[in-house]
Structure 1
């Protein structure tokens, strides 16, 4: 049932409108005070507000801003005994749904209400369709992954993406923080507006203000013309600030003001320019911890951290590495104009699997791009095509890679009665065989799957089902 709030200084008008609209199937509440109306809207949002333009304690334009601040999705219909054309034009341009002259024609009002409801439904469906199309498109452009950590990230991304929240993306170097920032932008209502990516580590302290906010001609030595800053470029869209911890305290303060006031001022300028941007930041540091050591403003951290998205390392994503390998092989083959996507040899796959990937996804991508230049006549990439650091790892579990714990958890130990059960005995024998083979091949799961004559994904599934840590 559609809900309507009627605000008018004449009680008789409120009662008359409530009686008529209630009969037409609407839920209606009334009040004669603008302040009371705002209190009502704070407690329970209404779909439509019908109000007199001249209330005793609030002019129409002021009251309109108050309504939108507490109930932004409400449609506002103004009424007035005397129509002022300037007021009508101004309020319609500001976003009011309609402006009616008193006495109101009941049939005309219902027609406007139904038309307004129909337009909102179409807009909602349009946004929903665009979101679904974008989400489907993104599946072919990005690797989502099937690991538990990857699913957690995707779940959180789908929650925060359609909102207008400020987001901090935390993750090690090379984990794909900018890719996730672009995904957030693409599934938001700002997708048709600019996405501006800024590497804060490349900005000098002297020129950062000019880069962010622009400058006027003659503002400083070398300012020979006007410059548009990043915030103006991103207006209506999203600005992505990578490695934001590198910004100086002066720029942090200017950034905080811009975000709070939603205005910027160019270097050397006096005019305040309104901005509407969504801000996404990325860091490989703990910003809150850094704020405690006076390196980063704590108030800026809390302004930016409406939502924190944590990106796992490649090693933490487990079996997702094979999806990344297939994805980068296919993309690189398309780029090189190859008709058939190559495959890695068993030895090469083993090296890719056991390497510890300190550079995460970026390092894996570059290794595959390099290897794709050396494909043999069988459309295969051998281990010799991989970078030296990966070949020298040689399955020896170098670097941060640890020998897996192949023991069962205590909860998985079988009791004497269970050991008599044929299914349990078979399961125990299967797990012992898997552990034995994994040790033989130095925990190379690709080779282990081949030796066991099962698919690699089946091996991962069995390791997970049997609760064997890997």
Structure 2
């Protein structure tokens, strides 16, 4: 039997009971608290070996509680849980000394493994004081990364860790997934955050123009060079340079880039003066770099220089839980920009958005929400307010589905039809509120007890 004592802090009584049973069966001594204030009181009276705590709680949120607990005892590992994800939250949690961070709904086996890792690391530390990571925060809040997807949380943790190094980073992912946002998050949470963040799209410029842009040139170096120009490598000194679509760079420029990365110096075009520079390079691409190297289109030695640390962004279709989260975020933003009251989504619109494949990823979703805000005539966004190719996808699906729907309805009486509608309404509202029962009950205009009864009646799992 383990002697480890675990404090579980969450305002959801059912989750507290579940985790208490799970970790008691794992051999831990478990004590529960309903909010941050109760957790602090217990923490002052008893010695705990680990804290598993929700972030969003009444009275006192998890981050505030985390800070107070760490001030009381910096040695105790604390794992935070939340139904809401974001790189800022992950960074702030690590900054305040959290061991790690997980997103609801989580896999219990994964959570048990995470707790075991915390205890293993605690044993290896042998009472060495925990080093807090200082991660300043300075980038535009409109560009913050939001997620409810568990497959994004490892990325957020890696961003927080990578930002504290000076190593080159290769960010990979489809177009529109947010590679530039990742680069900005790394820069603005690093020790270089007061320096410049400079970006250039390697695929948008000709080879000669890109070379001049990166290295600069001396007056008279070529026709039209009427004055000296400072290149981006020099301008990025003590800052970060993002080379977007680096896979589009020509073989000749790849050689020159390799030299700059190796020696941290270069000469502007038409000049013999060597300039030293201290910049961090982040490269981004939507290309398959292995295929490009196999075809001789990209140098292996340069790839290894760029790929000291690699981060991969999943496509939007691989993170379906984020579609409505991001859609609401964009709608709020564009309503504010256009002076409109915040709009909501008609239930059919939610279905369209969730079922669409989003080949253009988050960029396409943002553009679609901007158009929807402009086109919406009332308080709701309807499918016809969306771009035609998105709205049309619903019509094609509904033509097939309507045949089966009509058959089903033909064999149902009014009572059955109303129950079917009620179940669908509850499921959609629960999804919109990311599984939060109190928010769902409020949105449906019923008390939480009624909602819990309906969840049980229809066998709806909200965990």
Show the 5 A alignment for 1:364-379. Answer: 364-377=365-378, 379=379
Using the size of structure 1 for normalisation, the TM-score is: 0.57
1:202 equivalent to 2:204? Answer yes
Show the 5 A alignment for 1:63-462. Answer: 128=134, 131=135, 133-134=137-138, 141-338=143-340, 340-377=341-378, 379-394=379-394, 449-450=424-425, 455-456=430-431
- Change in Cα spacing, 1:188 to 1:459, as seen in structure 2 (3 Å) is closer
Cα distance, 1:171 vs. partner?
0.2
- Change in Cα spacing, 1:395 to 1:209, as seen in structure 2 (3 Å) is same
State the distance in 1 between where 2:277 and 2:234 align: 7
State the distance in 2 between where 1:240 and 1:370 align: 30
State the distance in 1 between where 2:460 and 2:242 align: 40
State the distance in 1 between where 2:289 and 2:181 align: 21
- What is the SS of the residue equivalent to 1:367? helix
1:47 aligned partner: none
Deviations 1:146-195 (A, max 9, x none): 21111121111111122111110000011011111111111011111111
Given that 1:240 and 1:281 are in contact with CA atoms closer than 8 Å, whether structure 2 keeps it comes out as yes
State the distance in 2 between where 1:232 and 1:217 align: 17
Deviations 1:291-324 (A, max 9, x none): 1211001100001111010000001112111110
State the distance in 2 between where 1:329 and 1:166 align: 35
Given that 1:138 and 1:183 are in contact with CA atoms closer than 8 Å, whether structure 2 keeps it comes out as no
- Change in Cα spacing, 1:448 to 1:290, as seen in structure 2 (3 Å) is farther
In structure 2, runs of 5+ residues without a counterpart are 1-130, 399-415, 438-454
Deviations 1:118-144 (A, max 9, x none): xxxxxx98x82xx2544xx77774133
In structure 1, runs of 5+ residues without a counterpart are 1-123, 399-435, 442-446
Bigger CA radius of gyration: 1
State the distance in 1 between where 2:240 and 2:284 align: 13
Instruction: Select between 140-149 and 364-373 the one with higher mean Cα deviation.
Output: 140-149
Instruction: Select between 173-182 and 454-463 the one with higher mean Cα deviation.
Output: 454-463
State the distance in 2 between where 1:133 and 1:194 align: 14
Instruction: Select between 379-388 and 172-181 the one with higher mean Cα deviation.
Output: 379-388
- What is the SS of the residue equivalent to 1:180? helix
Show the 5 A alignment for 1:6-85. Answer: none
Given that 2:427 and 2:460 are in contact with CA atoms closer than 8 Å, whether structure 1 keeps it comes out as no
State the distance in 2 between where 1:238 and 1:397 align: 46
Given that 2:143 and 2:181 are in contact with CA atoms closer than 8 Å, whether structure 1 keeps it comes out as no
State the distance in 2 between where 1:143 and 1:376 align: 29
- What is the SS of the residue equivalent to 1:254? helix
State the distance in 2 between where 1:461 and 1:294 align: 51
Using the size of structure 2 for normalisation, the TM-score is: 0.58
Given that 1:153 and 1:309 are in contact with CA atoms closer than 8 Å, whether structure 2 keeps it comes out as yes
Instruction: Select between 449-458 and 209-218 the one with higher mean Cα deviation.
Output: 449-458
Cα distance, 1:257 vs. partner?
0.5
State the distance in 1 between where 2:268 and 2:460 align: 59
Q: CA RMSD in A?
A: 3.0
- What is the SS of the residue equivalent to 1:279? strand
Given that 1:355 and 1:397 are in contact with CA atoms closer than 8 Å, whether structure 2 keeps it comes out as no
